[in-house]
Amino acid sequence: MARVAVVTGGTRGIGEAISLALRDAGMTVAANYAGNDERAREFTDRTGIRAYKFDVADFDACLAGVQQIEAELGPVDVLVNNAGITRDGTMKRMNRQAWDDVIDTNLGGCFNMAKAVWEGMSARKYGRIVNIGSINGQAGQYGQVNYAAAKSGIHGFTKALAQEGARAGITVNAIAPGYIDTDMVAAVPADVLEKIVAKIPVGRLGKAEEIARGVAFLCAEDGGFITGSTLSINGGQHMY
C-alpha cells in the first residue's frame, strides 16, 4: 500500500513541486492549501492530487484536516511542513500582528501538523517529517525579523523533535532553501533581485524541483538513518 504524504502549502510554488515529486515516488499525496480555491481546483485537475483546505496556523483545523485526510486516504506516514507567509518590514515599521501572523503560520504550523500526525506515526513505528526552513533563518535578513525568527525556530524544532522520534522510527529533518524562482521571489524588485543573484556562487536562482528532489530523498523508505539534519540547497550562497 502506498505511503500517504501530506504537503502543507502544497498546491503552488515549492509546495507543488514537492507534491509532484512525492507522487512520482509512488506516494499518495494530500496537498494542503489555505485560500486560493481556484488555484487548488486547477492543481487537482492537472495533477490528480487531492487538495485539502485548512489553515495550518489553526491547531483545531489541523487536527480536523489530518483526520479527514486519513479517513479518505489512509494513515499519514509522511509530513512536509512547507506552508509559509511573509509580512516583511523593519522593526520600526513592523506591528505585532505581522509578527504573530508569520510566527503562527511558519513555525506554529509545524507544531500543529506534527502534533496531528505524531501519535499515529509513533504507534506504527514509522514516519518521515521534513520541515522547510530558509537561508534567511540561518543567516538572517534585513526587514525580516519575523520570518527569520520563524525559520530559525524551524531548525531548532527539527533537531529537538528528531531526538523524540528516533526510537519510534520517525525521522525529522529540515531543508533550508536559498532564493528559488517562485512567485514570492518574483515579487522582489528587479534591481534588488539582481543584487541577490550576484551573491549566489552558481549564478542563478534555484528551481522548485531542486528543493523537491531533496525532500523526496529525505522521505525515502531507506532514509531511516538521516535525522535531525538540515540540508541547505542555496547554490553556495550560505555555507552553514
Query: 236: which residues sit within 8 A by CB, 6+ positions away?
Result: 200, 201, 202
> How many whole angstroms separate alpha carbon 55 and alpha carbon 35?
8
Residue with cell 534555484: 206
Greatest Cα pair distance, the chain, in angstroms, is 53
Q: Does 147 qualify as catalytic in the annotation? A: yes
42 to each of 11, 15, 116, 166, how far by Cα in Å? 9, 15, 27, 38
Which is catalytic among the residues 126, 147, 179, 240?
A: 147
- What are the catalytic residues? 147
